[in-house]
Amino acid sequence: MAERTLGWIQNPSNTKTLQNIVSIFNPNSKFTDFLLNSKIPLIRSLGKLHNEDEWERYIEHIKSGNNFPYNMLKGKGSGNGGRAFAPCSGIIQAAIEARIYLSLSTTPPSERIKKPYSDDWTADGFLRWAISLGFIDYDAESDTCSITELGYRFSKASSKDEFNDILGEAYLHYPPACRVLNLLLNGNQLTKFEIGRHLGFTTEAGFTSFPQNLFVQAIVENPSLKNTIKSNYEGSSDKYARMICGWLCEIGWVTKSNKKVTEIAGDREYTTTLEAFNITAIGRREFKRSIGTSSVRQIPKIVYLEMLSTKSEDRNYLRRRRAEILSYIQGRYRTDNEIINHLKDKGFNEDSSAIAEDLRGFVNIGLNISKSSKGTRLNDKIICLRIPQQKSVDPKSEVLQIKERVRPHLQSLDMDYLKLIDLAYEGSANLKFEITTIDLLTNELQFNGKHLGGSRKPDGIIHYNNQGIIIDNKAYSKGYSLPRAQVDEMARYIRENQSRNQEINPNKWWSEFPDSTQTFYFAFISSFFTGTYKDRLAEISKEYHLNGATIDVENLLYIAEGLKSGKLSYERFFEMFNNDRIVYTC
């Protein structure tokens, strides 16, 4: 089977373009006629069709409206000029106009030619959107797409009211939209961060949400970098929340407003205005349709297998496990032991903490889960969930094994921080790893501190009473060996903190420590550590007369649980800085 990511949409937002994409599957639609007789000939005249013989086959497919192979719709992204200027190689690429010009920027404006087609990434986004809303059906076995009855109706919608009514019906089939409506129903003026932190499988790196207080702190303290911060300080779940709210605003179920927020970060208070969302009376009424009432038939929910995990290395394992649970609890109460035994029959060896994590995730993706003394039940009817038949279960990765070791110990600490394990092992997630670490230490524990990052600054600092720590985070999948460059960088931070000379470093990052902080430590935090890291710690300590430590992500979570529960004192924690790896057992 092909590897697709369905069910979670971050970028497409133009619903008219969405209708055009769906209309491709209806050979009698006006847009299909436009595509065949105007758009494709225009792209051909510019010499931008990839492989003319292949396109003849594509055109016959459009005329017949048969099942479309996914790659025929999406196309390819390669090209000498990069993705943006690659030839048009997919049907949906041809259906979407780009916002760039084919001509060089030096060409006079009057002679520039707007690119009449898009790229494979944009095409894929719109296709996944159409599938996720139920306009297009996707068959994973054959990797093909076909139009549904709802999609056929959408392709023919002409009036604005009809268009919006069909969109609304589609959104009620889409669990994440129902989750957003439910959160807004129970909240008041929620920002994307307040929605995002409760959206998706929040213990995974594929569903990150940035702490609102750290975002507000960054905006208030760096007004000149506001646009950059807005771009970088947004987790995947925050993007999903923002996108879904935008769709619902368009059909009048949700409204946007400005919200004055005051947040505490560290020992300071910050106030700014953020965009927020409210549910309307129509939205409230329509949400009732998603769960069904005595007088309203319940609307089935579209749940593709691919929706049940995204970025995790173990996504195939997690998708199958979660699909088996959903199938088993649909319409009938099951106890945890019954679920565990059912999974065992399917080849999965899990404990009750894994079941609890998945059940919470089902609620966060928008499914109607109820619990009672009889067990847990899925009240929704779900469609499109096809569980692949495999002879054996995929082995668990090292990352998943660590999460399973840690999870049962998290009694006081929020389970969402399990995502730190994913982030620590994901080489491209340094910023998210840094911010989530500071979030853990300052929002869950009693440390004050701040994420710093950027040029000539440590990744973060924390302090408690009169003691402070300079932190360096590194996300590495194969462990961190404390290379010489990083040792020298930490040594520089220590020197700057000791001298506090603005002429050496004008950004004065050390001023984030209060004057009462008199004793300092340094810490390297990563997935795990390799090589001669102990010698490197001793080297820094000997030269600058302060102690440091390495903390792997597993022990970081054990330490946080100990501090949060009170089993580990803050005084004892600082005593653990002894120029070695800190090991703590809950």
Contact 145, 136 (CB under 8 A): yes
Coil/strand/helix, residue 206: coil
Q: What is the pLDDT of residue 112?
A: 61
Each of the 586 residues of the chain gets a pLDDT tens digit; together they read 677 888 999 888 999 999 999 999 999 999 999 999 999 999 999 888 998 889 999 999 999 887 899 999 999 876 655 676 789 999 999 999 887 666 655 666 655 677 889 999 999 999 999 999 999 999 988 999 999 999 999 999 999 999 999 999 999 999 999 999 999 998 889 999 999 999 999 999 999 999 999 999 999 998 888 888 888 889 999 999 999 999 999 999 999 999 999 999 878 899 999 999 999 999 999 998 777 654 456 789 999 999 999 988 899 999 999 999 999 999 999 999 999 999 999 999 999 999 999 999 999 999 999 999 999 999 999 999 999 888 788 899 999 999 999 999 999 999 999 999 999 999 888 899 999 999 999 999 999 999 998 889 999 999 999 999 999 999 999 999 999 999 999 999 999 999 999 999 999 999 999 999 999 999 999 999 999 999 999 999 999 999 999 999 999 999 999 999 999 999 999 999 999 999 999 8
Q: Residue 83: its pLDDT value, please?
A: 72
Residue entry with tokens 């120029």 = 579
Distance CA 582, CA 522 (A): 12
Q: Residue 330, class by beta-carbon neighbours within 10 Å (0-12 exposed, 13-18 middle, 19+ buried)?
A: middle
Under 8 Å between Cβ of 36 and 44: no
Written as one letter, the residue type at 375 is G
Of 333, 439, 445, 348, whose CA–CA distance to 392 is shortest?
A: 348
Question: 464 - beta bridge partners?
Answer: 467
Take residue 335 and report the two structure tokens written for it: 């106890």
Handedness of CA 9, 13, 19, 23 (dihedral sign): negative
Q: CA–CA separation, 181 vs 279, rounded Å?
A: 7
| Catalytic residue check, 16 | no
Strand order in 190-191's β-sheet? 190-191, 268-279, 254-265
Nearest alpha-carbon partner for 102 in 90, 88, 89? 88
Residues 197, 198, 203, 204, Cα dihedral to 10° = -70
C-alpha 82: how far from chain center: 26
Q: What is the pTM of this model?
A: 0.92
Cβ burial of 3 (10 Å; 0-12, 13-18, 19+) is exposed
d(CA 31, CA 332): 45
CB 97 within 8 A of CB 115: yes
CB atoms closer than 10 angstroms to residue 157: 17
The number of CA neighbours under 13 Å toward the Cβ of 122 is 22
- Residue 85 gets which letter from DSSP? G
Q: How many CB atoms lie within 10 A of CB 82?
A: 10
**164-170-175 Cα angle (round to 5):** 130
Terminal-to-terminal C-alpha distance of the chain: 42
Q: Active-site residue 474, yes or no?
A: yes
Taking CA atoms, 436 is separated from 178, 227, 337, in Å, by 27, 21, 34
Residues 6+ apart with CB under 8 A from 381: 298, 300, 301, 330, 331
Q: Which of 120, 472, 552, 564 is catalytic?
A: 472
Which pairs count as long-range contacts for 351-358, CB under 8 Å and 24+ apart, including other chains?
Answer: 351/404, 351/408, 353/404, 353/407, 353/408, 354/321, 354/404, 354/407, 355/325, 357/203, 357/407, 357/415, 357/418, 358/321, 358/322, 358/325
What CA–CA distance (Å, rounded) separates 270 from 444?
Answer: 18
Residue 209, pLDDT score: 95
Q: Specify the pLDDT at position 227.
A: 86
Of 576, 586, 585, the C-alpha closest to 469 is: 576
φ/ψ of residue 234, rounded to 5: -145, 115
Given the residues 120, 439, 459, 552, select the one marked as catalytic.
459
Which pair of tokens denotes residue 432? 């998210």
Per the annotation, the verdict on 346 as an active-site residue is no
In the chain, what are the domains? 15-156 (3.90.241.10), 172-291 (3.90.241.10), 301-390 (1.10.10.10), 417-581 (3.40.91.30)
Q: Give the residue among 354, 463, 419, 397 at the shortest CA–CA distance from 556.
A: 419
CB atoms within 10 A of CB 303: 27
Reading phi first (left if > 0) and then psi (alpha if -120 to 50, else beta), residue 429 is in: alpha
User: Using H for helix, E for strand and C for coil, what is the string for 382-418?
Assistant: EECCCCCCCCCCCCCCHHHHHHHHHHHHCCCCCHHHH
- Who contacts 274 (Cβ-Cβ below 8 Å, separation ≥6)? 191, 212, 216, 258, 259, 261
Distance, C-alpha 191 to centroid of its chain: 16
pLDDT at 302: 96
Query: Among 432, 450, 474, 564, which one carries the catalytic annotation?
Result: 474
pLDDT of 222 reads: 86
User: Which amino acid type is present at position 26?
Assistant: N
